[in-house]
A = this chain, B = another copy of it.
Amino acid sequence: MRSQGGAVQSARERLARRLRALRAERGLSQEALADLADLHRTYVGSIERRERNVSLDNVERLAAALDVDIVELLAPT
């Protein structure tokens, strides 16, 4: 998949960047977002470090916690 600059960007990369940006916009810590999404407190950090192969259900929970559509979490950055 291509980012706007044309570089190939993995889904994990996109999710990590979009999660961090949307979380920062809302002034949420990684732990606070994990709590809102009812996920383990270290979960968000591991996603932002591209370490985790997240399940679709959990991406959906994070989108709901951030009040965005799931495609916003996977849009090119």
Measured CB to CB, the residues of A under 8 A from B are 1-2, 10-12, 14-15, 53-57, 59-60, 63-64, 69-71, 74-76
Alpha-carbon distance between A63 and B29 when the two chains are bound, in angstroms: 31
Question: How far does the Cβ of A70 sit from chain B's closest Cβ, in whole Å?
Answer: 5
Residues of the B chain whose Cβ atoms lie less than 8 Å from the Cβ of A70:
1, 11, 14, 74
Q: Which of B2, B11, B63, B75 contacts A56 (CB 8 A)?
A: B11
A1 with B53: CB separation less than 8 A: no
Alpha-carbon distance between A61 and B38 when the two chains are bound, in angstroms: 27
Residues of the B chain whose Cβ atoms lie less than 8 Å from the Cβ of A60:
1, 10-11
Residues of the B chain whose Cβ atoms lie less than 8 Å from the Cβ of A2:
69
